[in-house]
Structure formats: structure tokens, C-alpha cells
Amino acid sequence: MDEIVKAALKKWPNVPNCYGWLALDARGDWYMRDERIQHAGPFPKVKGSRITHDKLKAFIERNYGADEAGRWFFQNGPQRVYLQLEATPWVWRVQWPPQPGPPSVTSHTGLHAVVNSCWLDEEGRLYLATDIGFGIVHSQDMLDAAQAVEQGLWQPEALLAAEAPARFAYVRDPAAS
């Protein structure tokens, strides 16, 4: 967490939480959802404005975390902004190294992860449980992920997508809970 955020938390400890204004899609993109967008429909059916500003994205990613109830948030200074998740709290990028070795797995926030288990849902989406949490494999990296499965590095287990939040202890829509 950024030092400026820690300082703001100390200075203003009782700022109310925010819900519905920020979302993460299954490709690792952040979306702002103002009141008009929230009234237009639920996420991800109505996504909102994709955040493209590199410094804002980096700030969100450095201050991204989860509470004890599995609700994911962005700590925006003294205010905790809870996210709506299209799929999972992490979106994995999979890439094979130029030299022989296993593929690297990196989160949408740039954190490296070690794969513990692999899961495949009823729609053919691939998920990885890692040392830092559970997430979906980015759609552009399915070829690299399939290569890891074919080589026996990952052995997918069956998963019903609707059961993933309870099984892996995360909340997709904190405002609804």
C-alpha cells in the first residue's frame, strides 16, 4: 500500500466505504461505474468507462486487496472502494520463457504467482489457484495455458463457475452481500 494512502487512513479513519463504482472484468481491465452507468444495468452487462490512464491503473493495482470476508477493494486514500468482479479477483497472464522451463504466471497487477492447482469450468474457462490467490486465465493466454496442460504441468479439475466464489473465498459483488 502506498505511504500516502497509509497517511490518509490515519488522518481520516472513519470515511465510509464505497460500492458499485469500480469493477474488474475477466480480462483484467478496470472500469469506473458512475451513478448513470449503475442505473443502466448490472456489471458486466453494462461495464462503464474503461480506465486507460496508466498512472491511475498503477495506483489502483498497488492499493488492491481483500478484506477478511473475501471482498476485494481499492484503498483510495481513506476510502475503501469495493469492486465488482466479472469472474475472479485475479486475472492471470501466462507466458513461456525463451529458454526451457515452466511458464511464468503473472497477475493483472504485475505480481508473480506459483500455480498450486488448475480448474476448468463448464464453459471451458481455465482458472489457476496460486500462492497469492485464485484467478481466471486471460483469454489471450489460453494457447500458452493449454500447452502447460498438454505437457502435464497443470492438471485441470472440474469446477462449476457459480461455485468458485464459495470454494475459493471471494465475493463477486460486495454490495449484494
Question: Of the candidates 103, 131, 100, 107, which has an alpha carbon nearest to the alpha carbon of residue 117?
Answer: 131
What pLDDT score was predicted for residue 101? 85
pLDDT tens track for 97-138: 988 889 999 999 999 999 999 999 999 999 999 999 999 999
pLDDT of 7 above 80: no
The model's confidence at residue 76, banded by pLDDT at 50, 70 and 90, is: confident
Q: What is the pLDDT of residues 144-156, one digit of tens each?
A: 999 999 999 999 9
pLDDT for the residue 108: 98
Looking at the predicted structure, is the pLDDT value of residue 165 above 80?
Answer: yes
**C-beta contacts of 4-13 below 8 A and 24+ residues apart:** 4/77, 5/63, 5/75, 5/76, 5/77, 8/77, 8/78, 9/75, 9/77, 9/78, 11/78, 12/77, 12/78, 13/78
